[in-house]
């Protein structure tokens, strides 16, 4: 399994894909900050409606971020080299 060669535009390209066909619009402000062979970094800026009573981040917010990050990992794979 290998990754598509990283370029500075890679994260921007994946952000474009997400904005066109993925329900990220419901995750206010989520964006991909970094994509490389070792990791991806997705950012979800804090908003007060992400909080539950007791000032903890809600489970659905955390799961949405985790789900989006996993999708970004899949998008970053080079499907021609998956064995």
pLDDT, tens digit, 9 for 90 and up, residues 9-40? 688 888 888 887 666 545 778 899 988 877 89
Cα angle 13, 65, 60 (rounded to 5 degrees) comes to: 145
51-52 and 39-43 as β-strands: parallel, antiparallel, unpaired? unpaired
- Residue 42 pLDDT grade (very low, low, confident, very high; cuts 50, 70, 90): very high
Structure-block tokens of residue 48: 């007060």
Domain coordinates of the chain in residue numbers? 10-81
Looking at residue 83, what is its pLDDT? 58
Question: The pTM is what?
Answer: 0.75
| Structural contact between residues 6 and 36, judged by C-beta atoms closer than 8 angstroms | yes
Looking at residue 48, what is its pLDDT? 92
State pLDDT tens for residues 49-78: 999 999 999 999 999 899 989 988 888 876
DSSP assignment letter at 3 = B
- Residue 4 pLDDT grade (very low, low, confident, very high; cuts 50, 70, 90): low
């Amino acid at each position: 399994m290998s990754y598509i060669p990283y370029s500075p535009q890679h994260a921007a390209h994946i952000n474009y894909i997400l904005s066109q066909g993925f329900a990220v619009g419901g995750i206010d402000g989520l964006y991909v900050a970094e994509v490389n062979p070792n990791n991806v970094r997705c950012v979800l800026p804090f908003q007060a409606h992400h909080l539950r009573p007791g000032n903890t981040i809600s489970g659905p917010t955390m799961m949405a971020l985790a789900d989006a990050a996993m999708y970004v990992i899949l998008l970053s794979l080079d499907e021609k080299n998956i064995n």
